[in-house]
Amino acid sequence: MKNQLINKLNDGTAVIGIVGLGYVGLPLALRYLEVGYPVLGLDVDQSKVDLLMAGNSYIRHIPSGPISENVRAGNLRATTDFSRSAEADALILCVPTPLNKHREPDLSYVISSLEMILPRLRPGQVVSLESTTYPGTTDEELMPRIEQAGFTVGTDIFLVYSPEREDPGNPNFNTRTIPKVCGGTTPACMEAGMALYGQVIDRVVPVSSTRAAEAVKLMENIFRSVNIALVNELKTAFMKMDIDIFEVVRAASTKPFGYMPFYPGPGLGGHCIPIDPFYLTWKAREYDVATRFIELAGEINTSMPYFVVQRAAKVLNDREKSLKNSRILLMGLAYKAGVDDYRESPSFRIMDLLEEKGALVFYHDPYVPEIGPSREYFRYSGRTSSPVDAGYDLHILCTAHDEYKSLDPASLNAPVLDTRGLFPDLPGKVYRG
C-alpha cells in the first residue's frame, strides 16, 4: 500500500487535497498545480470556494491567472463538501492554530478538520499537518483519532508533520525554494512524507520524528520573537539617550559575522510570531520547565503598542494638544510591508488604546481598503481606509509599505510618529516611536 501511494506521488498522478485555502494552503495548492498534480481544495468558507471556482484570488500577492487556468482545465477543484476528501491520495492540513484568551493553544481548527475527513479516510492516504503547534500534537491528537477510526498508522494511513514556512510578499523565496522540514510518525510514514513533498519542494529536510519537526517550527519563531523583543527593548533605552536605534542597527549590520539584524516596531503581528512561542510555553509546563526568555520576550513585544501611544501623547503634548479629540491616522494596518494580511496586527491594539483615551482614529492602507470580520477586533469590521493627508493632528507610521517611501513628511499638515524607521530624521516633522 505504501509503495503504491509513493509511486502515485512520484509520477504526479496522486490527487492532492489541501484542507484550508488561506495564506499557506493556497500557495501550496498552486505549487502542486504548477508541477502537474490534480488538486482538491477543501475549506469551510463558501466565499473562498466561490471565488476560486470563478478563477479569482482573494490574496493580494497571489495572481488570479494560474487559478483561472487550472479551474478551466479541471485541475483545481474547490469545495466545502468534506466528504470528497476520499478522492484525495494526500490530505494536507493548513488551518489556523490561534491562542485562546488565556494564551493557551487552540487546536479546534485542526481537530475539527481532521474529524470532518475521518469518515471518508481510506487506506493508502497520507495525512500531513502543516499548522504550527506544540511538540506532540501529531502523536497525541491526530494519531489516536485516526487509529480509533480503525486504521493502523504506518500501514494503512501515513501520518507526517511538515511545518509551513510561507513568507507572504517575500520576493526572494517562494513555496518551491524554501527548504521544507518533514517528520514521520513511523519510518513508512516518513517515506510517504518525503515523496509527498519531494516533487514540489527543492529541498526536503528529514528529521527523526513529528515531535522534532514540530519543535523546529517553534524554534524558528521563538528565535525571531526573542530577538525582536531585544531590539524593541534597546529602542526604548537608546531613545532615552537620544540615539536612533535604526541608525545603530544599520551600522551593526555591516559586521559580516556574529550579527544578524532585527528591527524594532510597534509590536508583533501575523499569525506566527505573536502566537507560536506560547505553544511551547504551554507544553513546557507539563514538564515543569519555565520558559523565561519566551515569556519575557512576549511581555516586551506586547508592551510596544503602549509605548507607541505614550510617544504619541508626548508628540501631541509638545504641540499643545492632547490625545483626547485629536485626529490620528495610522499608516498601515497590515502586520508587515507589502501584504494585505492584518492578522494579529499591532495597529489594532494601538487603535484600541488611542480610542480608549478619546482620540479619533483613522487608518490608511493601500492593501486593505476595508477591514473584514475578525475574531478579536470584530468591532472594526467595515471601517474603510482614509486619505493620507486629511486634516489630522498626528500620523503614526505602523507599516513600512513601499508606497509610503515616496511620501515627503514635510508636505503633511501634521507630524509623523515613525515606528519603523522609514523616514529620515526631520526635526518638528518626524519623530521616532
Task: Confirm if 309 and 357 have CB atoms less than 8 A apart.
Answer: yes
Other CB atoms within 10 Å distance of the CB of residue 414 = 22
Q: Which of 18, 112, 103, 100 has its CA nearest to residue 67?
A: 18
> Angle between the 210-240 and 277-285 helix axes, to the nearest 10 degrees?
110
Decide: helix, strand or coil at residue 86: helix
Distances (CA, A) of 258 to 219, 246, 261: 19, 19, 10
- Alpha-carbon gap, residue 118 to 380, rounded angstroms: 37
Q: Which of 230, 302, 294 has its CA nearest to residue 264?
A: 230
Q: Is 272 a catalytic residue?
A: yes
- Alpha-carbon gap, residue 7 to 429, rounded angstroms: 64
- Which among 94, 182, 272, 398 is annotated as catalytic? 272
Find all residues with CB under 8 Å of 273, minimum gap 6, and list them: 221, 224, 225, 228, 301
Strand partners, 384: 370
- Alpha-carbon gap, residue 60 to 127, rounded angstroms: 29
Strand partners, 81: none
> Angle between the 210-240 and 245-252 helix axes, to the nearest 10 degrees?
130
Cell of 196: 509527498
Find all residues with CB under 8 Å of 354, minimum gap 6, and list them: 309, 312, 323, 328, 361
Q: Where are the alpha helices (DSSP H) in 81-240?
A: 108-117, 137, 143-148, 187-198, 210-240
Strand partners, 84: none
What is residue 410's DSSP assignment? G
Decide: helix, strand or coil at residue 99: strand
Point out the residues that are catalytic.
272
